[in-house]
Structures are given as C-alpha cells and as structure tokens.
Amino acid sequence: MNFNSTSGLFCFPLVDSATYIEYVVATYKAMLEGTDDGKMGKLIFGRVRADSVPIGGSCVIEHRRKIGKQFFEAKLLCNDEKIGSLYFGQQ
C-alpha cells in the first residue's frame, strides 16, 4: 500500500483474509491521519458507495474534499475507472 495525504494506491487482493472494503477504509483512514485535519478528532467510518466491487486490480483512493468542519469525501477508482465514493466523519 502506498499513500500520501491526497491519494492511496493498493493492488487488490493483497491478502486472502481482507476484503476490498477493509482495504479502502484502512487506506483512507491512514491518509487522513497523515494530515492536520485528520489529527483533529477521532475518525469514524461513514459510508462507502460503490457501483461494483473489483475482483482485482490497481485501486486508488483520491481525497476529493473536506465537507464542513468534520466530514471528508474521497473518490474510489479501480483500473483507472471511477467505481464509487467514500465518506468519513470525525468525532
């Protein structure tokens, strides 16, 4: 898994015991925790919206924007195609 404060990349599947959703959530959470905004409060899981769940490939999570003071949105891509969005809230 490679990530910075604006994007994260992983090739799925990495381990048979982890699901795509687990990789997506862990990657975005790690990205946000590396930013000043992400350190301001406990990150709580919000919602994943996906048109499909990939069987495998190169998956990217791109931080899209901060909504208000405590909500974040990211775009999900797999094999260079947008497949959904991810939302995190903060407590």
Model confidence band, residue 27 (pLDDT cutoffs 50, 70, 90): confident
What is the C-alpha to C-alpha distance for residues 25 and 57, in angstroms, rounded to an integer?
17
Q: Which residue has the higher pLDDT, 17 or 8?
A: 8
Beta bridge partners of 43: 90
Model confidence band, residue 16 (pLDDT cutoffs 50, 70, 90): low
What mean pLDDT is predicted for residues 58-81?
90
Question: Is pLDDT of 84 > 90?
Answer: yes
Model confidence band, residue 28 (pLDDT cutoffs 50, 70, 90): confident
pTM assigned to the model: 0.81
Dihedral angle computed from the Cα positions of residues 35, 43, 46 and 5, in that order, rounded to the nearest 10 degrees: 10
Q: How many CB atoms lie within 10 A of CB 52?
A: 10
